[in-house]
């Protein structure tokens, strides 16, 4: 048998192409906090052209919707204007403190990066995020930890707005976006104070005054809380709702 050597051009092309990306992964997320819940997760496989969030920059409208009310539809709709460089899916329901979500199988369409967003509730605008994690080309199980970020779009007044206008899968209440105060879903309402003396975001002339917002995405400086359920400066319980980063552990199995 005569062996014909590869041409230099063909050999170079094979070298540059590298191993094929896995088309299917399985993911789950573990809540490492003792008092926060995670909203349904937006999972995105994408190219380098997609960037869901960037610390030190202004949050997009889609990120704001997730960080303030757990609504993934705004960002998903924006992403789907170009399906050539990403594929996304919203997974699951609420994840309780110190618990792990179900496993979810996700088709990446051979995109090389993975990102994830989920709101921490009850908070004003905190979210946990995975930013452009390179999907391994070797089959196996991988873990990565996620920090909590502040979207910078709302003042952290920690006052319970009582708003539950948005719902997730199965009609689960997730809270409201652009509503003065801290949105809180039904499972946490009974555990939150009411009518604290903290200053909630006010409407001035019918326009939401967000002057207390930081303006840029940044690592969350944690909740303040207090121990007064009916007054004080916060409606959060300082003995329950505080956390330290990282707040989540994500498990990714490359099939």
- The pLDDT, as a whole number, for residue 111 is 96
Residue 205 pLDDT exceeds 60? no
Cβ count within 10 A of residue 205: 5
Residues 94, 169 contacting (CB under 8 angstroms): no
Residue 134 pLDDT exceeds 60? yes
- The pLDDT, as a whole number, for residue 252 is 98
Residue 197 pLDDT exceeds 90? no
pTM for this model (two decimals)? 0.80
Confidence of residue 158 (pLDDT cuts 50, 70, 90): confident
Residue 25 pLDDT exceeds 50? yes
Q: CA of 89: how far to CAs of 78, 79, 160, in Å? A: 13, 11, 30
- The pLDDT > 90 percentage for the chain reads 48
Q: What distance in Å separates the CA atoms of residue 43 and residue 122, rounded to the nearest whole number?
A: 21
Confidence of residue 184 (pLDDT cuts 50, 70, 90): low
Q: What distance in Å separates the CA atoms of residue 40 and residue 116, rounded to the nearest whole number?
A: 10
Confidence of residue 34 (pLDDT cuts 50, 70, 90): very high
Residue 221 pLDDT exceeds 60? yes
- Taking domain 20-254, whether its CATH number is 2.60.40.1730 is answered by no
pLDDT in tens, 56-68: 999 998 998 888 8
Q: With H, G, I as helix, E, B as strand and everything else as coil, classify residue 141.
A: strand
Check residue 126 and report its DSSP letter.
Answer: E
H or E element that contains 63: helix 61-69
User: Domain map of the chain by residue range?
Assistant: 20-254
User: How much is the average pLDDT of 238-252?
Assistant: 95
Residue 222 pLDDT exceeds 50? yes
C-alpha Rg value of the chain to the nearest Å: 21
Residue 187 pLDDT exceeds 80? no
Confidence of residue 210 (pLDDT cuts 50, 70, 90): low
**3-state helix vs strand vs coil in the chain, percent to 5:** 15, 30, 55
């Amino acid at each position: 048998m005569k062996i014909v050597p590869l041409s230099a051009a063909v050999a170079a092309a094979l070298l540059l192409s590298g191993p094929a990306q896995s088309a299917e992964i399985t993911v789950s997320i573990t809540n490492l906090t003792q008092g926060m819940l995670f909203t349904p997760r937006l999972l995105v496989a994408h190219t380098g052209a997609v960037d869901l969030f960037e610390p030190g920059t202004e949050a997009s409208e889609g990120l704001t919707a997730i960080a303030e009310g757990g609504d993934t539809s705004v960002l998903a709709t924006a992403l789907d204007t170009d399906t050539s460089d990403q594929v996304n899916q919203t997974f699951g329901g609420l994840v309780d403190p110190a618990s792990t979500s179900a496993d979810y199988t996700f088709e990446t369409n051979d995109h090389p990066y993975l990102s994830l967003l989920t709101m921490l509730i009850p908070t004003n605008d905190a979210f946990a995020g995975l930013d452009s994690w390179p999907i391994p080309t070797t089959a196996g199980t991988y873990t990565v930890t996620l920090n909590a970020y502040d979207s910078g779009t709302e003042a952290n007044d920690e006052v319970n707005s009582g708003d539950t206008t948005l719902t997730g899968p199965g009609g689960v209440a997730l809270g409201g976006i652009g509503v003065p105060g801290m949105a809180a879903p039904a499972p946490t309402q009974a555990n939150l104070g009411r009518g604290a003396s903290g200053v909630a975001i006010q409407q001035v002339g019918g326009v939401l005054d967000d002057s207390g917002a930081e303006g840029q995405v940044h690592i969350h400086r944690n909740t303040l809380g207090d121990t007064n359920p009916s007054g004080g400066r916060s409606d959060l319980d300082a003995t329950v709702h505080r956390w330290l980063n990282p707040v989540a552990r994500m498990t990714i199995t490359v099939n």
